[in-house]
Structure 1
Amino acid sequence: MEGLLDLGRQDMGPSRRSVLSVALFSVALTVPEWPDVVGRMETAQRGTRTRIGMSDVHTVSAMTEQLSSMDDQFGGRAARPLAATFLVNTVAPFLRADGPEGVRKAMMSAASDLCCLTGYMAVDEGLHGLAQRYYLKALELAGASEDHLTYCTTLRGTSVQAVDLGQGPLAKRLADAAAASSPQAGPRMRAFLAGQQAHAAAQTGDRRSALMYLQEAARQTWGLALDDYPLVDSGRIDKRMTDMFKLIRPHIRNHAAQALYERAREVVRPELIAV
């Protein structure tokens, strides 16, 4: 995994490594059961870990979740250097360590997820070359670990990036590849992928395909919302249901829109339907 090690080192820069390492441990303190997480990170950084277990995989997953939350709150400029530091100091040594085959595959999958997140952060900063290198490493690790979910999510991310760069045909190929990589995707994932297929098709001027994929994404997304609606007591959700009825009424002759409308009438409170 020297490629991952070199990538992370180039990203964070030698002058900031010690400062970033300290900051990274402060992030680790926010993880549940943080003493164990910190201990595993320190062992990996010292280079004394020769064998890994599932607890080490959980450490990577937990830290990735915290870094993702930090990205949501503060943006990639704050979170990405910490992600790069974590990749160099902890994840790369874990990937070099021995362990049962199942644990090693799980570690590669967790590392792939972190690389995908780091690439997304780099896109947010406009560092497209760096983002592509992280995305390629994520695809490599996801392929090696047979992690189809992260593989197609990463492909979707590269499609989003291609749209941002005005590369419509490439964006469309990547979005279609992402959808094809996950034939067993559930409704949520399928809507997630179809939405990007619509976005990429629109970028190429293919209005027909864009509308087709957009319809597929919106049918599935609203269907999922209706699944959860009876379990949620929220004014905001009520407002979204009202908006849904307004949006689909003009298209009620469309078979999919009509099916959604009839299903919604069975679930949503009557006063929201009448608005």
Structure 2
Amino acid sequence: MSVGSVVNIQNNNEATDAVPKTNSSRNIGELGKDDFLKLLVTQLKYQDPLSPMDDKEFIAQMAQFSALEQMQNLNSTFSTMKALSMVGKYITASKPGSESTDTEFIEGIVDNARIINGNTYLEVNGVMVSVDEVTSVSDAVLKENKGNILPYASLIGLLATGYLGSDESDSLLTVTGTVRSVEKDYFGDFAIIDGVDAELCEIISGIPYTTSEDIEAYLLNNINNEVALKIRKPGQDTAVEVYAVLNSYEAGEDGAFKVILDGVRVPVDSITKLAEEM
């Protein structure tokens, strides 16, 4: 015996007004715990008095009912916990639109989570979104504060000294240059600095550049292009990898190459010295 049921979302309070007024039907063969209990009661009601249900069969069905109830309660609890973990996060979701063939895309920061008629919803910009309709979740810090770098705008045009970290050690490389702009990404706030001078240690490339002639040819061909280099300060052992635009270069008498780089990303928290350009 199969039972189909239609769940209607009732708009009986302000919270449910934002829930889509659509009907959803369970597929045939998918029974909830209430359906299971109704079937069991009906079976008991219409059993043959002369040949009643066997005790073992009754106990087995009750055990199945108990297991089903626990599983559905567990799913409900998991859905609620999942929704609560998304509060304050930035999500994207897709849900059916007004037309059957339309899809509505929603994005924003989750204001709160609500349980309405046994279903778990997230409130995003006043719109109720089912947890099952969420397609991605990310931290809201970047999305919420996107463009909120005005406090660092005063750095632009100043001569700044900051530090770049090395992946190979805990040492820091001191760099100095003119702040062209400031930007924010998932890793923090950065000052984009031009005119950083350093000594070239290595060209990061799949092609080895070992001779001075090869290195100079590479530098010459990549003026005003973005390059990946390992640099250091003369006389220092600390070397760091940078991705920046090669402004110019100069070959030293000792065979070392001095490079001037633009667009070097320096964490604003590492800036220790500021001065106006002379």
The two structures have a TM-score, normalised by structure 1, of: 0.21
More strand by share: 2
More helix by share: 1
The two structures have a TM-score, normalised by structure 2, of: 0.21
Structure (1 or 2) with the larger CA radius of gyration:
2
